[in-house]
Amino acid sequence: MQLTFLGTSAGRPTKTRNVTSIAFCLPEPHCGFWLFDTGEGTQHRLLHGGLKLNKLERIFITHLHGDHLYGLPGLLSSRTYFEGAGPLQIFGPAGLKEYLNVIFQHSGVHLGYELEVIEVSAGEVAADDRFVVEAAELDHRLPCFGYRITERPQQGQLNLGRLAELGVRPGPLYGKLKRGESITLEDGRTISSSHVVGPQLPGRIVTILGDTTPCQNAIVLAKDADLLVHEATFAGGMEEKAAAYGHSTIRQAAEIAAEAGVKRLVVTHFSSRFDDEAVAELVKDARTIFPYTDAAFDYAEFQVKRST
């Protein structure tokens, strides 16, 4: 499970940072990915990042400000030309469906795949056999959501050495054991799954917040997360300016991470006033509050490690 940052600038792009988009790359054996926000130019970032639109399964939009949204229509249109592009779900605030309908109507776009747009409210917004996604509203100038992705617990690993000792060859029997079933060998021996499969693996939690001032819902969504993505538009000491624009300082992001008990904080959405050297200084400041803080940059990849 990995996050790849496709854009990390706030408001407008810079020469080194595009506007907001994050790819959530699903764990093996799955080869798909989800997108969180689609600022202008996101499809170009995908091309350079090696992610193909026919592997895109879901898009989550935090809010309808342009630096999080303007890349969506072009991306959806281009996806038609990728062979094997299946159904796609888009989640986001009220108004997203109308926004896309108007653009498609007046630009004559015809998509070659099924598109479902779901306008979200607080609570569970998506679930499948691997993940549950919950949303809650944050504190910004427009309705804005944060998303909490919870991986369901996974079956333990097969003990391949023990299976070899027992004479169980690789094949369908491995799958049965992995699913918790017992098997009977040709010589009549019965092997229980519990004897050759390790303990259940805990699920991982990733929280990706949209633009926000510090608020209780940010803490609720981030509680005990393995990785939290939080905006850091302004430097510490600029709290009044941050509040006026509905944003956070990097120190406030670190305080949220500490209060929520997360394992790792990745900050993004930096004002264009900060170059890479300045961002490095911001991170040093944030680490005095929450030591496990890192700054995202375009094309940065962060692995989400499983708790032990």
Q: Which residues are designated catalytic? A: 67
Q: Would you give the distance in Å from CA 198 to the centre of its chain?
A: 28
211 belongs to an annotated ligand binding site: yes
Say if residue 65 carries a ligand binding annotation: yes
- Half-sphere exposure in the Cβ direction for 123 (13 Å, CA): 3
Residues linked to residue 205 through DSSP beta bridges, in sequence order: 150
Q: What is the DSSP letter of 203?
A: P
Tell whether residue 195 is among the known ligand binding residues. no
Rg of the Cα atoms in the chain:
22
Which residues lie across from 133 on neighbouring strands?
A: 126, 149
230: annotated binding-site residue? no
In angstroms, the CA 255 to CA 26 distance is: 29
Per residue, what are the HEC states of 54-92? HHEEEEECCCCCHHHCCCHHHHHHHHCCCCCCCCEEEEE
| C-beta pairs of 78-85 under 8 Å, 24+ apart in sequence | 78/43, 78/53, 79/53, 79/54, 79/111, 79/113, 80/110, 80/111, 80/112, 80/113, 81/112, 82/52, 82/53, 82/54, 83/54, 84/54, 85/53, 85/54, 85/56, 85/112, 85/113
Q: Is there a binding annotation on residue 276?
A: no
- Structure token digits, residue 263: 């394992």
* Residue 48 labelled as part of a binding site: no
Query: What distance in Å separates the CA atoms of residue 244 and residue 293, rounded to the nearest whole number?
Result: 25
Torsion of CA 45, 49, 50, 56, to 10 degrees: -60
247 annotated to a ligand binding site: no
Longest Cα–Cα distance of the chain, Å, equals 75
Binding site feature residues: 63, 65, 67-68, 140, 211, 269
Binding site feature residues for Zn(2+): 63, 65, 67-68, 140, 211, 269
